[in-house]
Amino acid sequence: MSASTKRGLVIAIDGPAGAGKSTLAARIARAHGYINIETGAMYRALALKAIRQDVSFDDGDALLRLAEASTIKLEPELERNRVLLDGENISERIREQDVTDAASRVSVHPGVREWMVARQREMGEAGGVVMEGRDIGTKVFPNADIKIFLDADPEVRGSRRFKQNPHVATEAHAVTQEMRERDERDRTRASSPLEAANDAIKIDSTHLSLDEVIAEAERIIARKK
Ligand code: DC
C-alpha cells in the first residue's frame, strides 16, 4: 500500500515487560485517532489454548497447528485490547501468571512467530496504528514510520507490574524475579529476540512519569511527521 493511501503512520513500540508499552501505545493511539494493537496478547491467547488443550509449550509444530485452527481477535479499546479467542472474551484470564509464563515459552518457536507476524501485518498494513510488542520494529514492520524502544530498569518494571496486578498472590520481588527470567528468554531466543531496531529511538522510563514518557514519544512523532 503506498504512503498516500495509508490511513496514517505505522508506529512501532518495542521493549521488555513492564516498561509501559501498552499504556503508551493506547495513549498515543487515542491522541492521533489510531488503533492500538497489543501483540503480546496474541501469544498469550495461543498459550491459553495450549494450556486448555494440553499441548506442550515445547512442541512448535503442534503449537503452529493450534494457531492455524484458532481465531484470535484484538479489539482496540481505550486502555487495552479486548482479546477474543474463538469468540470467547479471554482478556482477563490471559493476564494470569500461568498464561504469562506459557506465552513466553510458546513465542520462542519460529513457525508460531511467522504465523503471528503475518496476522499482525494484516492488522497494521493500512496504517493509523500503534503496534507494541518485542519484534515490531525489527520484524513485523521493519519499515515502520516511527520506532520507539521503551525500556526501564528491571526493579522499576517489576514494581510497576506489581502495582498493576496487586491481587496476584506474589511479592513484589517475586514479580521482578519472574520478569527477569522472562526477559532473559525473550532476549536470548534464536528467532526474533527482543532487541532494539538499529533505527529505533530509545526512551528509558526509569525516572520518567507516564506523562513525561508520552511527551517524549510525541516529540519523536512530531519530528518524523
Ligand atoms: O507483552 P506481553 O507481556 O503481553 O507478551 C507476552 C509474551 O509474548 C512475552 O513473553 C514475549 C512474547 N511476545 C513476543 O515474543 N513478541 C511480541 N511481539 C509480543 C510478545
Number of structural domains found in the chain: 1
Q: What is the value of pTM for the model shown?
A: 0.93
The range of the structural domain enclosing residue 14 comes to 3-219
Q: In this structure, is residue 117 part of a structural domain?
A: yes
| Nearest ligand 1 atom, CA 17 | 3
Summarised one tens digit per residue, pLDDT across range 121-179 is: 999 999 999 999 999 999 999 999 999 999 999 888 888 877 776 666 567 778 888 88
Q: In this structure, is residue 224 part of a structural domain?
A: no
pLDDT of res. 165: 67
Question: Is residue 141 a contact partner of residue 132, using CB atoms and an 8 Å limit?
Answer: no
List the chain residues with pLDDT less than 70.
1-5, 165-170
What is the distance in A from the centroid of ligand 1 to the CA of 100?
9
**Which residue minimizes the CA distance to atom 2 of ligand 1?**
40
pLDDT of res. 175: 80
Q: In this structure, is residue 225 part of a structural domain?
A: no
Q: In this structure, is residue 133 part of a structural domain?
A: yes
What is the distance in A from the centroid of ligand 1 to the CA of 39?
7
Q: In this structure, is residue 95 part of a structural domain?
A: yes
| Nearest ligand 1 atom, CA 100 | 6
CB-defined site of ligand 1, < 6 Å? 17, 39-41, 43-44, 103-104, 107, 133-135, 182, 186
CATH number, position 150:
3.40.50.300
| Nearest ligand 1 atom, CA 108 | 15
Q: Which long-range contacts (CB under 8 A, 24 or more apart) does 58-66 make?
A: 58/105, 60/109, 60/110, 60/111, 60/112, 61/111, 63/106, 63/109, 63/111, 63/112, 64/109, 64/111, 64/112, 64/115
Q: In this structure, is residue 32 part of a structural domain?
A: yes
